[in-house]
Chains A and B, each alone.
Chain A
Amino acid sequence: MILEVKDLSVAYKSKTKYVDALKNVSLGVEAGEILGIVGESGSGKSTLALSILNLLPFSSKNQGEIIFNSKNIFKAKEKELEALRGNQIGLIFQEPASTFNPVLSIKYQFNEILKSKLKIKSKKNREKIIFDSLEQTRVRDPKRILKSYPHQLSGGQLQRVSIALAIALKPTVLIADEPTSSLDVTIESQIIHLFKELRDKYKLTIIFITHNLDLVKVLCNRVVVLYQGQVREMKTREELFKNPEDSYTRSLLDSFSELEG
């Protein structure tokens, strides 16, 4: 077990009261697997991703433990967290267009990350890492991409660049928060295969957050179904599609098959 979430509850502060986002969530992630987290909007998928990196807002209340490499993330010092974020646990966001700073070139942002996270001083070494990781995500014409600014690239290109940026730091766990929901089908399918390749090549552990059961079907080893902040079901992919036990899972599968036949 590489990452363990034990009895996690998170509540966000609204004007007058606390609103529960996660309630007693427990789950474990095995090394080298792709764990799918499924649920509708507002079910707490993204909150789970943020709490794994301890990126929750200060005003939120949290209980429970997240154990990574036998350390509790909630009790870690800021310096330890800095070493953890990116270097050991990478995060890919939903909206590629807002992942990057709009006024800095891709190359500058790549260099900045490598300097601060990996402390690589030589320009040549940095360049080598940049081109290596871009090649793995199969970006065409990386030289042009590096010179460009985020608005000059398409959604698919940007998402590839942000995946390249995440794997350049060689993390052991990668959290992908709906990485393809703003892309169209032809690009989505290619990105999904890229994730599969990364898992097989580097034994990368991936936590894949999505609401699209189609992607879960082709990609994930195990699936967690979240609903209103609670884990409703945790099963292997085959089991989930064959005999869903929970009533919510069943209705999710139903609405999915109604939609796509």
Chain B
Amino acid sequence: MKDKDNLLEVKDLKVHFLQKGKATKALDGVDIFLKKGLVTSLAGESGCGKTTLAKTILGFYKPDQGKIIFNGKDITLPKNQKQARRDIQIVFQNPFASLDPRYTIFYSLYEALTVFKKVNKVQGREIIKRALAEVELEEDIVERIPQQLSGGQIQRVCIARSLINRPSLVILDEPTSSLDVTTASKIMKLLIKLQKELEISFLFISHNLKLLKKISDYCFIMYRGKVMEYGPRDLIYDNPLHPYTKLLKLASQQKLKYLKEEDINLSGCPFLSRCSFKKLECSQECVKKEVEPGHFIYCHLFK
């Protein structure tokens, strides 16, 4: 994992939320890495910590333990944060909650621009015009407020906003899950096109394995705050080995009939209570194993 082309490395990251005196382990020792210029995806069901990880990378949450290394610098330290905030951008899941309802589209984009650059309104207007053309929106949209736009249009504005400062990493947190099929497919096409044109790295978060198969190069599967399996896309989708990844694949094909609700087990494999292949040693901590070149798995079933 000490490649020089790693744009971002997350090492043993822990984020715990205190709730009524108890700690909820949202992230419990996550190791991931992102290669430059590629699309890395993060999959898992609701509540597994995907969004928490994204928000921690952006600096919204302070990690309890661990490092986030971006371009060779640890961005959990305050002195390195300013540059990182410009270079890492996000597109949120719910388009209707991502823009200020009282700002015009022009102002929403202009504000994102002026935080990091000194531009006057005339220059700003030029840049915004280009940014909107990039996401295939009409120019006259700038004077409107979010309420007057459709979900697909707002999501395009959010993508334009995230790209306006030419970041090196964009985090896409389920950008299409609140849109319907026709709009979602147009947005996906746009994202794939922009990624190739601008050579930006994407961290794509979703729970839909079929969608991830379409866009990603590299894939991480998470469950209850831990990484379960990771590797190049084709190995993960065509040959999933971890019982949880297999279950997720079944679910995305609508073949999953019934799933036990989980018991909380504090030690060992987090998937223990739902796993149908469990063995005695599963109550102990899993270690990472390389099953194929580049394909890693955290499970006791593989030696």
Contact = CB atoms under 8 A, between A and B. Distances in A.
Interface of A: 40-41, 138, 140, 154-155, 184-190, 192-193, 211-215, 217-219, 251-252, 255-256, 258-261
B101 to A, nearest CB: 20
Given A184-B46, A259-B181, A214 B254 contact: yes
Contacts of A185: 45, 207-209, 248, 251-252
Contact of A211 (B46, B181, B214): B181
Interface residues of B, number: 33
A12 B188 CA distance: 33
Contacts of A155: 46
A40 B46 CA distance: 25
Nearest to A186: B251
B194 interface: no
Interface in B137-196: 151, 176, 180-186, 188-189
B184 A190 contact: no
Contacts of B210: 259-261
A189 B189 contact: no
A193 B185 contact: no
A260 B254 CA distance: 13
Contacts of B252: 185, 189
A211 B180 contact: yes
A193 B214 contact: no
Interface of A: prevailing SS: helix
A255 B181 contact: yes
Given A189-B255, A189-B256, A193-B258, A184 B181 contact: no
A19 B210 CA distance: 37
Nearest to A196: B257
A124 B208 CA distance: 44
A256 B185 contact: yes
Contact of B259 (A186, A256, A258): A186
A140 B262 CA distance: 10
Interface string B232-259: 0000000000000001101110111111
Given A186-B251, A186-B259, A190-B258, A258 B188 contact: yes
B59 to A, nearest CB: 26
A179 B44 CA distance: 21
Contacts of B182: 40, 251-252, 255
Contacts of A41: 151, 180, 183
Interface string B197-235: 000000000011111011000000000000000000000
A192 B214 contact: no
Contacts of A219: 254
| A-B pairs, 9 with minimum CB distance | A255-B185, A189-B256, A260-B210, A259-B185, A189-B251, A218-B254, A211-B180, A186-B251, A185-B251
28 contacts: A41-B180, A140-B261, A155-B46, A184-B207, A185-B207, A186-B45, A186-B207, A188-B251, A188-B254, A189-B250, A189-B251, A189-B252, A189-B254, A189-B255, A189-B257, A190-B258, A193-B257, A193-B258, A211-B181, A215-B254, A219-B254, A255-B185, A258-B185, A258-B188, A258-B189, A259-B176, A259-B181, A259-B211
